[in-house]
Amino acid sequence: MGRTIAEKVLSKKSVEQREVNAGDYVGVKIDGLMLNVTTSQVNDKAIEAGLPGGLPRLWDTERVYMMTEHHQPPQSELQARRNKIARDLAARLGVKYFHDAEPGVCHQMMCDYGYVRPGEVIVGPDSHCTLYGALNAAGAGIAEPDAAYAAVFGELWLRVPDSLKVSIEGELPNSYPVAKDVVLYLAGKYGDDMAQYLAIEYKGPAVREMDMAGRMCLADHGVELGAKFALFEADEKTLAYVRKRTDKSFEAVSPDPDAHYSREITVDLEEVGIRVAKPHTFDNVVPIEEVAGKRIDQALIGSCANGRLEDIEVAARILRGRKVAKGVRLIISPASYNVYLQCLEAGLVEPLVRSGAQFLEPGCGVCTARLAYMADGEVSITCTTRNYRGRKGSPKAEIYLAGPATVAASAVTGVITDPREMLNAASK
């Protein structure tokens, strides 16, 4: 029987070099280890394991990518201390790829710098490692004890997941990025555990048409659907994206034509429309018509989900000739320094700032309880990753999730707003 991408990648990378199938437990040689904000805690785990001084070595300094990202610049003394430990570790272990004084979201930086290549297995202590699937890499989040083991030996145990095929059909809207609406639609219809322990394979004509930013949004949110991996095949867009960033060799992996999927779902973009997740779970999703008019205090654009050039560009288009509503905080945080530079070069930043947007340094603060806190009773609409209770401070604050166009349009009116009318007006 044919094999899925997950089965083929994990067979190729299995320690024993054997063919594996969904349900097998297998030792896997990893291609990359991403170490981020929790690097010092990974070393703490090695100390806790009884290794004097912590990690005794890295299995391969060509394959470890370290960055202080979330904690750059440090927002507390603890963060500063942890960054310092990471810096000392990088020197002691001979880390070759270390990004220190550079704010950003680790996953975007991993892609920006060409550290993610098709056909690879890449893990790291952050749930959104699924994003690497946009580049045909099997990316999965692990925790610090696991990361300590992986750092020393370059191996991990994994269960080979069953695969869920999601085909996206229909025409992509030409005026706004639709990936967030698609993933919210999926969560709303099938539940936030629809892909629990599974590898999603995204396919279909609309996926082929979709740009890398859209694919990254879908892959990133794989974890919000419970997935272990969220994979795309590598096509000419993937190869162009990767080759521009690295000259390292790689081998893309496609599924066999007769691969077995435990479930197959088709999404028709006609049905998706504009979607919003209400508080406090990712699958509490409604069509925008049901929540339009809800007053907001804060509107956020950024994160590994929707902090790329394409997301900020649509916000700039919507805000052209308009102002952020009085009393509303529109906060934009590009996903990385590279993205920030792209926005500057494209001339997006100045008009957005003139419209009343606040720019934050690139990073994860916009998405978590690090920056842009909310008080009891406040309401936020955001295209970041999660709307869980208390994610932005008060458990009595409300977080609505939507695509970047919806967030920008809502910032203009001060209430949750369908962006399509403003987009039509902007294109005229």
Partner 1 sequence: MLHLSEFVIRGRVWKFGDSVDTNIIAPLHVMRKGEIEEIARHTMAAVRPEFPEQVRPGDIIVAGANFGCGSHREEANLVLEKVGIRAIVAESVARIFLRTSTNLAFPTLVAPGVSSLVEDQEELEIDYPKGKIRNLRSGRELPLPKYAPSIEQIFEAGGILTLLKERCIREGLI
Q: Which residue's CB is nearer to partner 1, number 306 or number 355?
A: 306
**DSSP code of residue 227:** -
- For position 80 contacting partner 1 by CB under 8 A, the verdict is no
Question: What would the two tokens of residue 92 be?
Answer: 């002691």
Q: What string of DSSP letters covers 41-100?
A: HHHHHHHHTT-TTS----S-TTSEEEE-GGGSS-SSHHHHHHHHHHHHHHHHHT-SEEE-
Binding of partner 1 at residue 175 (CB under 8 A)? no
Measured over the CA atoms of residue 97, residue 102, residue 107 and residue 113, the dihedral's sign is negative
Select 147 or 402, whichever has its Cβ closest to partner 1: 147
* 257 near partner 1, judged by CB under 8 A: no
Stretch that binds partner 1, among 98-106, 135-143, 256-264, 416-424 (CB under 8 A): 135-143
Residue 279 contacts partner 1 per CB under 8 A = no
Strand (E) or helix (H) holding 349: helix 349-354
Q: How far is the CB of 381 from partner 1 (least distance, A)?
A: 19
Query: How many whole angstroms separate alpha carbon 257 and alpha carbon 268?
Result: 22
144: contact with partner 1 by CB under 8 A: yes
Question: Whose Cβ is closer to partner 1: residue 178's or residue 379's?
Answer: 379
Q: CB–CB of 7/262 below 8 Å?
A: no
For partner 1, the closer of residues 167 and 281 by Cβ is: 281
**276 neighbors 406 (Cβ within 8 angstroms):** yes
Write down the least CB distance from residue 296 to partner 1, Å.
Answer: 21
DSSP 70: G
Interface characters, 313-352, with partner 1 (x: CB under 8 A)? ----------------------------------------
CA dihedral 141, 389, 224, 110 (to 10 degrees): -50
Closer by beta carbon to partner 1, 3 or else 45: 45
- Asked if residue 399 binds partner 1 (CB under 8 A), the reply is no
Count interface residues toward partner 1 (CB under 8 A). Answer: 52
- 3-state secondary structure (DSSP) of residue 136: coil
Closest distance to partner 1 from the beta carbon of 142 (Å): 7
CB of 315 to partner 1, least distance (A): 25
Which CB sits closer to partner 1, 78 or 344? Answer: 78
If one asks whether residue 263 binds partner 1 (CB under 8 A), the answer comes out as no
Which has the closest alpha carbon to 405: 385, 425, 423? 423
Distance in Å, CB of 319 to partner 1, minimum:
30
- Those residues whose C-beta lies under 8 Å from the C-beta of residue 145, and which sit 6 or more positions away, are 45, 49
8 A C-beta contact, residue 375 and residue 353:
no
Among the listed residues 145, 170, 173, 205, the single contact to partner 1 using CB under 8 A: 145
Q: How many helices (H) and strands (E) does the chain have?
A: 16, 18
Residue 398 to residues 57, 223, 383, 423, Cα–Cα distance (Å): 45, 22, 14, 26
- Residue by residue, DSSP assigns 244-266 as TT-----------TTB--SEEEE
Q: Which of 74, 114, 173, 191 binds partner 1 (CB under 8 A)?
A: 191
Does 370 participate in binding partner 1 (rule CB under 8 A)? yes
Per CB under 8 A, the segment of 39-47, 110-118, 324-332, 354-362 that binds partner 1 is 39-47
Question: Binding segment for partner 1 among 122-130, 209-217, 327-335, 402-410 (CB under 8 A)?
Answer: 122-130
Which is closer to partner 1, CB of 293 or CB of 390? 390
Residues 2-21 close enough to bind partner 1 by CB under 8 A: none
* Calpha distance 399→384 (Å, rounded): 10
- What 3-state DSSP class applies to 172? coil
Distance CA 312, CA 156 (A): 37
> At residue 383, what are phi and psi to the nearest 5 degrees?
-105, 15
Among residues 93, 95, 131, 142, which is the contact residue for partner 1, using CB under 8 A?
142
Q: Does 73 bind partner 1 (CB under 8 A)?
A: no
Residue with tokens 């004509």: 205
Q: Which of residues 42-61 bind partner 1 (CB under 8 A)?
A: 45-46, 48-52, 56-57
End-to-end CA gap in the chain: 53
The site for partner 1 (CB under 8 A) is made up of 25, 41, 45-46, 48-52, 56-57, 76, 78, 125-127, 141-146, 148-149, 152-153, 157, 159, 191-193, 196-197, 223-224, 226-228, 281-283, 368-370, 373, 386, 388-391, 393, 395
